[in-house]
Amino acid sequence: MEGLAQKIPKDWKKLGRRLSMTEADLDAISKEEEEYSEKAYAMLLKWKRAEGERATFSVLYNALCHRLFRRKDLAEEFCCVCHN
């Protein structure tokens, strides 16, 4: 997650929305962390903890490939799931 967070620093909120995180959670993370990469990491960690077993590579892959995020390159690099 830390590696992915380093590659999405300024788009972390956009990805959080694709992962169905609330605006309140995203705003709280934004206020807690100073660096964008730390905000991204905190968002991914919160998503994983909140979703538990539902926080799968497939869900993350789909969020990264979503038409409003469009980062299939990162999905393929970090999710290790083959989707065609």
Q: What is the pLDDT of residue 82?
A: 54
Does 81 score more than 90 pLDDT?
Answer: no
In the chain the domains, ranked by start, together with CATH numbers, are 2-79 (1.10.533.10)
Distances 36 to 26, 29, 60, 73, 82 between C-alpha atoms, Å? 12, 10, 19, 20, 29
Does 83 score more than 70 pLDDT?
Answer: no
Q: What is the pLDDT of residue 44?
A: 97
Write the pLDDT tens digit of every residue in 15-74. Answer: 999 999 999 999 999 999 999 999 999 999 999 999 999 999 999 999 999 999 999 999
pTM above 0.75, yes or no: yes
Q: What is the pLDDT of residue 80?
A: 73
